[in-house]
C-alpha cells in the first residue's frame, strides 16, 4: 500500500505516521508514505496558497491551482487513476467497513484542507471520496488523514505482529470487543474472571463472544442491527435480558 498525502504540514503527517506500528511497517517496506507539500506548488511570488473567499465572509480558502498541481505531481507517476480522499467534515463518516474497503487499494491519495477549506472547483476535478472522521470541525485534514491511514494500515498483511489482533478487534462482525485482562491475576482486590484462567479454550471463546454481545447491546445497540449473529448468539441475547 502506498499513501500519498497532499498537505501544508508534511512534518505533522511524517511525525505522526512514522512512529510505533505504522513506522515499523514503513521500515519493513510493507507500507510507503509520500508527503507532498502543497505550498511547493504555489503560483504566488510570496508562496501563498490561500486567498479571500469570493462573496466575503471569515477566513481564507485554499486556492485551486496549487492543490491541483500538487495532485498532478503524484498522479503523473501512477499507472492508474488513484482514489483521492478529501478530508472534510461534510464527507461520508469513516468507519471500520470503509477501512476494510480502502485496504484493498494499492495506492491512496489524501488531500488535507486547512483554513475554511479548499476551492470547490478543484475538489470537483480531482476528488473521488469526501471523508469525515466525525461530526466535529478540526483545524485541518492532517489528523483525519492519520486516523484513516492508521486504521487501514493495521488491516494489511504483516503490519500487526499477531494476525489475530485485527480479527477480534471491536467492529469485527460489527461487535465491540470483549474485556481484556493481563497479569497479575488479582489487582487491588479485583480478580481476573476465573474462566480466563481455566485453560479451556472453547469455554474462553464462548465467554468472550458473550461479553462482546453484552457490551455491544449495552453500549452500542445500533451495531447489533447489522451484526453477524449466529442462532446461538441470538438465543444468548434473548436469555440475557437482565445482564
Ligand atoms: N469550513 C469548512 C466546513 O464548514 O465544512 C471546515 C473547514 S475546517 C476548519 C479545515 C479543514 O479541516 C477541512 O478542509 C478538512 O480538510 C479538515 N477537517 C475538519 N474537520 C474534519 C472532520 N471532521 N473530518 C475530516 N476532515 C476535517
Distance CA 87, CA 145 (A): 7
Tell the residue nearest (CA) to atom 27 of ligand 1: 88
The Å distance, Cα 125 to ligand 1 centre, comes to 19
- Cα 125 from Cα 113, distance rounded (Å): 15
Collect contacts of 23-31 with beta carbons under 8 A, ≥24 apart.
25/153, 25/156, 25/158, 25/159, 28/158, 30/1, 30/156, 30/157, 30/158, 30/159, 31/1, 31/2, 31/3, 31/153, 31/156, 31/159
pLDDT at res. 172 = 80
Reported pTM: 0.95
- Residue 82 Cβ contacting ligand 1 at under 6 Å: no
Average pLDDT over residues 136-140: 98
Span 31-90, pLDDT tens digits: 999 999 999 999 999 999 999 999 999 999 999 999 999 999 999 999 899 999 999 999
pLDDT digits (tens, 9 = 90+) for 77-112: 998 999 999 999 999 999 999 999 999 999 999 999
Amino acid at each position: 500500500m502506498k499513501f500519498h498525502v497532499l498537505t501544508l504540514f508534511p512534518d505533522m503527517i511524517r511525525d505522526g505516521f512514522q512512529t510505533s506500528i505504522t513506522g515499523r511497517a514503513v521500515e519493513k517496506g510493507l507500507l510507503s508514505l509520500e508527503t507532498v507539500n502543497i505550498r511547493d506548488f504555489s503560483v504566488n511570488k510570496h508562496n501563498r496558497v490561500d486567498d479571500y473567499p469570493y462573496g466575503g465572509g471569515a477566513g481564507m480558502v485554499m486556492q485551486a491551482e496549487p492543490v491541483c498541481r500538487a495532485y498532478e505531481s503524484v498522479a503523473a507517476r501512477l499507472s492508474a487513476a488513484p482514489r483521492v480522499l478529501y478530508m472534510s467534515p461534510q464527507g461520508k463518516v469513516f468507519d471500520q467497513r470503509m477501512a476494510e474497503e480502502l485496504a484493498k487499494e494499492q495506492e491512496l491519495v489524501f488531500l488535507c484542507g486547512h483554513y475554511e477549506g479548499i476551492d470547490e472547483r478543484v475538489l470537483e476535478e480531482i476528488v473521488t471520496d469526501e471523508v469525515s472522521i466525525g461530526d466535529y470541525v478540526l483545524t485541518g485534514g492532517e489528523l483525519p488523514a492519520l486516523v484513516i491511514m492508521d486504521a487501514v494500515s493495521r488491516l494489511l498483511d504483516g503490519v500487526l505482529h499477531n494476525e489475530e489482533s485485527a480479527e477480534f478487534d471491536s467492529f469485527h462482525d460489527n461487535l465491540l470487543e470483549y474485556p481484556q485482562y493481563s497479569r497479575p491475576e488479582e489487582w487491588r482486590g479485583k480478580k481476573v474472571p476465573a474462566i480466563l484462567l481455566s485453560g479451556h479454550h472453547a469455554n474462553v471463546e464462548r465467554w468472550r463472544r458473550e461479553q462482546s454481545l453484552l457490551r455491544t447491546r449495552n453500549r452500542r445497540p445500533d451495531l447489533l442491527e447489522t451484526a453477524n449473529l449466529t442462532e446461538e448468539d441470538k438465543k444468548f441475547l434473548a436469555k440475557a435480558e437482565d445482564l
